[in-house]
Amino acid sequence: MKLPLRFPYPLMEATPVSGLPQGDEWQYEPKWDGFRCLVFRDADEVRLQSKAGKPLERYFPEVVAHVQALGARRFVLDGELVVKVGRHLSFDDLLQRIHPAQSRIEKLSEETPAQLKVFDLLVDERGALRAEEPLRIRRRWLEAFASRYFEDDGIALSQVTLRLATAKRWLAGAGVDTDGVVAKRRDLPYQSGNRDGMVKVKRIRSADCVVGGFRYASRGRGIGSLLLGLYDDDGTLNHVGFCSGLDATVRKGLKERLEKLVKPPGFTGRAPGGPSRWNERSAEWQPLAPKLVVEVAYDHVTDGRFRHGTRFLRWRPDKAPSQCTMDQIEKRRPRRAAARTE
């Protein structure tokens, strides 16, 4: 028997918005601070897929073991990989798992094991496709699946609420292990490969950007700033701002890492100009191959650019550069359902 969905399968993604949508057609979930993960099981074969469509089994052997221990033999789940240290989730410890040394991965899998938070069921244990059904139906299938098969802390059912007040409490910080709230349309099937019917609201305004280039510091040859890019609808990488003020931890080994990636053109659309607009001291910049993704915090956006310099939050090796698109910073209002279908 073969699964009706094949690895890699395009995930349903969320559009960043500034406020939670309202209406009976929406459900709300915690936005976990981790790696998005699709789980495929077909008999003895288990695949873990990242948001970028890459395999993750090598980095999370303990999660593979938890999946293999489930009583169900065929299914596809959508969820988030997280690592808990003490009472809180730690994205930094999660990042440590993306390591080239297998011995290091195995050691960390025992010291800081990952957990899978599951929030959707795309194929059930009988191999039946559920992704084409409305979310409100899929959620009932998922809860029944979880009650039958989730038996330890390695795999857990993610929370959900229909109450806007509860979602607002999560967003205000009542859920210490979350960094925001995701809202999903209950009347829609799984939106593979697009952002229709799913939005996210973060406690901070942040965006995942491609590092399309860098500038050396005005004194010495250290790294002065990272030049940030986002892809438009035509697949063109446009310069949208910069990130400076990097601390010593970020700077460690950064110069060598960036210089290995120097390759023109860096940006295929709007490129960095002189230093006047954002007060960057040097007009000279080095183009990079679009390989690195960084999450930055920002305050305002004007004409498709960050108005001021951004603040470095973290590297995002789990995301593909092609996923760093302009719709992260463009204002789009979520649609309301025209009609609810049963």
Residues marked as catalytic: 31
| Burial degree of 285 (CB within 10 A; 0-12, 13-18, 19+) | buried
Look at residue 175 and give its three-state secondary structure: coil
- CB neighbourhood size of 255 (10 A): 15
- Spatial distance between the Cα atoms of 22 and 27, rounded to a whole number of angstroms: 9
- Which is it for the CA torsion 121, 60, 147, 85, positive or negative? negative
- Kindly state the greatest CA–CA separation across the chain: 65
Q: Do 31 and 110 meet the contact criterion of CB atoms below 8 Å apart?
A: no
Closest residue by Cα to residue 171 from 161, 160, 182, 162: 182
Angle in degrees, CA 110, 115, 118, rounded to 5: 160
- Which is it for the CA torsion 323, 326, 331, 336, positive or negative? negative
Which structure tokens are listed for 320? 């593909």
What separation in angstroms does the CA of 164 have from each of 23, 126, 297, 299, 340?
Answer: 9, 34, 26, 26, 19
